[in-house]
């Protein structure tokens, strides 16, 4: 059973984001396996319900595959962390998300769960004492692996890294807040942990806190339930540095935004550093209060772009080296040429290659890579993704990928965006509404307009036709 759990965890780690993996899968403990029934313990009811709804079918499939027989997976509360205890009763109407003036922003999917669980924000300090004691490295939630040393620099992120170093050297002084934005898996989280690590090393007593925006929302919910806003405020307002990740999750959550606004004002006034990440630039975050948007933009806002080829190669070589493996340049180039979207994808591919070569006892060569990444490469070859189209078109017209999702309309951005929409319709199976969604939540009629306009231009304008031809060839590889 232990072996199964290792295999299953390794697989899920590949499939999920690091945050998802460490929040949901890591805390699970396999208990026993008997007569085709596997029991897995979760640390609390909140996690149990969430894991059951989100991951049960995947874990069941992996278990059935492993034991080569249909397996029933049962999730139970971990008896060690849950001696029969009283759970506070659900609040009645008017509680979380009740639509009253007092409502608070439960994370959309968790509303029912959050009400009944003692500590939904299991990673968050939950009592006055915990808040008061939230000191030091452990409480800061800084990941010590994510440092400037392990961060590879290239054109795509050199500005962001320079700003990060500047802020790490002069927290609260140079740029406040510092705001990083960019697509998934491009190193935003890594970079803010790197700042945290450096400041922690320079000032060991500093009260630093890294928090994912979803967790902050849950902290607000918990504070609301326990009438603990004084502790909450005291904790967040007295930090020396707040690193808040993926702030787009605050969109539409007005109570969270209000609390964050107070924390923001208090910290900035006290010259305490705030660093924020988001998948898009401040003005583009949907459902965000204008006062917050203007404050986000009041320090320095820097983009992190998808890594270029040389940087992808450097990342692969460095990551392999840290695993004690030397990759040949040929192999690194091969992988980097085929996988272009983000660093997380590169890491996943490298893990697969290393596992494959260890398992088969063979040295890593291009043939081994082709075998190990068979599924990934065939998907890449067969399917052109909208993400890929956006990146290729942005590169071609020398604009930022983020402009593909942005609401900005200058012609030098609007036209490439229309071309990307046209290509998305031509080269993928996506519907107009799906494409609109992938271009920053635009309406399908906007996509339709773009598709028609570019199709028409193509017939009339040879230069446009040529551009599209080049782009199509590039995308088809």
Ligand X SMILES: Nc1ncnc2c1ncn2[C@@H]1O[C@H](COP(=O)(O)OP(=O)(O)OP(=O)(O)O)[C@@H](O)[C@H]1O
Q: Which residue is nearest to ligand X (CB)?
A: 187
Q: Where are the beta strands (DSSP E) in 95-174?
A: none
From 8, 12, 91, 104, select the one nearest 348 (Cα to Cα).
12
Q: Are 163 and 276 in contact (CB under 8 A)?
A: no
Total count of residues recorded for the chain: 477
User: What does the block give as tokens for 473?
Assistant: 């060839």
**Which residue in 55, 75, 151, 224 binds ligand X (CB under 6 A)?**
151
Q: How far is the CB of 446 from ligand X (least distance, A)?
A: 25
Crossing angle for the helix pair 309-322 and 343-360, to the nearest 10 degrees: 50
Tell me which residue has tokens 């307009």. 449
Tokens 């970079």, located at residue: 191
DSSP type of residue 228: -
Q: Which of 110, 188, 255, 295 binds ligand X (CB under 6 A)?
A: 188
Question: Which region, judged by CB under 6 A, interacts with ligand X, from 31-39, 339-347, 413-421, 458-466?
Answer: 339-347
Number of residues binding to ligand X, judged by CB under 6 A:
21
x-or-dash string of contact with ligand X, 269-308, rule CB under 6 A: ----------x-----------------------------
Is 324 within 8 Å of 287 (Cβ atoms)? Answer: no
Residue 189 contacts ligand X per CB under 6 A? yes
Is residue 339 close enough to count as binding ligand X by CB under 6 A?
no
Do the annotations mark residue 187 as ligand-binding?
Answer: yes
Considering the complex, state which of residue 41 and residue 191 has its C-beta at the smaller distance from ligand X.
191
**Least distance from ligand X to the Cβ atom of residue 17, Å:** 6
Measured in whole angstroms, the distance separating CA 402 from the mean position of its chain's CA atoms is 16
Q: Which residues of 327-355 are buried (b: 16+ CB within 10 A; e: fewer)?
A: beeebbbbbbebbbbbbebbbbbbbbbbe
| Nearest C-alpha neighbor of 331 from the set 305, 362, 296, 301 | 362
Residue 1 or 184 with smaller CB distance to ligand X: 184
**Strand, coil or helix: what is 414?**
helix
Sign of torsion over alpha carbons 367, 371, 376, 377: positive
Contact pick of 6, 17, 326, 381 for ligand X (by CB under 6 A): 17
Q: Tell me if 157 contacts ligand X by CB under 6 A.
A: yes
Q: How far is the CB of 280 from ligand X (least distance, A)?
A: 11
**Residue of 315, 350, 420, 438 that binds ligand X (CB under 6 A):** 315
Question: Which of 13, 214, 297, 347: binder of ligand X (CB under 6 A)?
Answer: 347
Q: Residues comprising the binding site?
A: 185, 187-189
Residues that bind ligand X (CB under 6 A): 17-18, 146, 150-152, 157, 182, 184-190, 246, 279, 315, 343-344, 347
Residue stretches of the annotated binding site for ATP: 185, 187-189
């Amino acid at each position: 059973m232990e072996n199964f759990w290792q295999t299953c965890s390794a697989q899920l780690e590949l499939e999920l984001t690091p945050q998802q993996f460490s929040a949901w899968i890591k805390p699970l403990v396999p208990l026993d396996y008997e007569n085709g029934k596997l029991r897995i313990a979760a640390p609390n009811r909140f996690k149990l319900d969430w894991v059951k709804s989100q991951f049960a079918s995947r874990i069941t499939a992996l278990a059935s595959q492993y034991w080569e027989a249909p397996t029933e997976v049962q999730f139970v509360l971990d008896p060690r962390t849950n001696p029969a205890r009283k759970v506070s009763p659900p609040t009645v109407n008017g509680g979380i998300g009740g639509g009253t003036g007092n409502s608070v922003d439960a994370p959309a999917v968790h509303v029912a769960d959050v009400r009944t669980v003692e500590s939904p924000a299991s990673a968050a300090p939950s009592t006055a004492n915990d808040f008061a004691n939230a000191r030091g490295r452990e409480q800061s939630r800084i990941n010590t692996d994510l440092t400037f040393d392990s961060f590879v620099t290239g054109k795509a992120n050199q500005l962001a890294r320079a700003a990060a170093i500047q802020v790490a050297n002069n927290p609260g002084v140079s740029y406040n807040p510092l705001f990083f934005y960019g697509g998934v898996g491009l190193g935003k989280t890594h970079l803010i942990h790197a700042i945290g690590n450096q400041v922690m090393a320079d000032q060991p007593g500093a009260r630093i806190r890294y928090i994912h925006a979803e967790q902050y929302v849950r902290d607000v919910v918990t504070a609301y339930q326990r009438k603990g806003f004084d502790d909450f405020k005291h904790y967040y307002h007295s930090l020396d540095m707040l690193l808040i990740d993926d702030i787009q999750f605050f969109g539409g959550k007005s109570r969270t935004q209000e609390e964050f606004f107070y924390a923001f004002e208090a910290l900035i006034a006290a010259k305490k550093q705030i660093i924020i990440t988001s998948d898009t630039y401040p003005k583009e975050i949907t459902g965000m209060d204008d006062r917050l948007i203007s404050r986000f933009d009041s320090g320095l806002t820097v983009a992190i772009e998808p890594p270029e080829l040389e940087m992808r190669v450097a990342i692969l070589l460095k990551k392999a080296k840290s695993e004690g493996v030397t990759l040949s340049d040929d192999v690194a180039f091969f992988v980097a040429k085929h996988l272009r979207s983000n660093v997380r994808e590169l890491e996943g591919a490298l893990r697969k290659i290393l596992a494959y070569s260890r398992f088969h006892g063979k040295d890593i060569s291009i043939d081994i890579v082709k075998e190990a990444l068979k599924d990934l490469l065939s998907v890449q070859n067969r399917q052109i993704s909208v993400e890929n189209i956006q990146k290729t078109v942005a590169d071609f017209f020398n604009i930022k990928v983020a402009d593909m999702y942005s609401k900005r309309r200058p012609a030098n951005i609007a036209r490439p965006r229309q071309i990307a929409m046209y290509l998305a319709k031509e080269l993928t199976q996506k519907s107009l509404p799906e494409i609109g969604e992938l271009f920053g939540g635009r309406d399908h009629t906007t996509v339709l307009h773009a598709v028609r306009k570019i199709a028409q231009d193509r017939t009339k304008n040879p230069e446009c036709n040529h551009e599209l031809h080049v782009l199509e060839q590039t995308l088809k590889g």
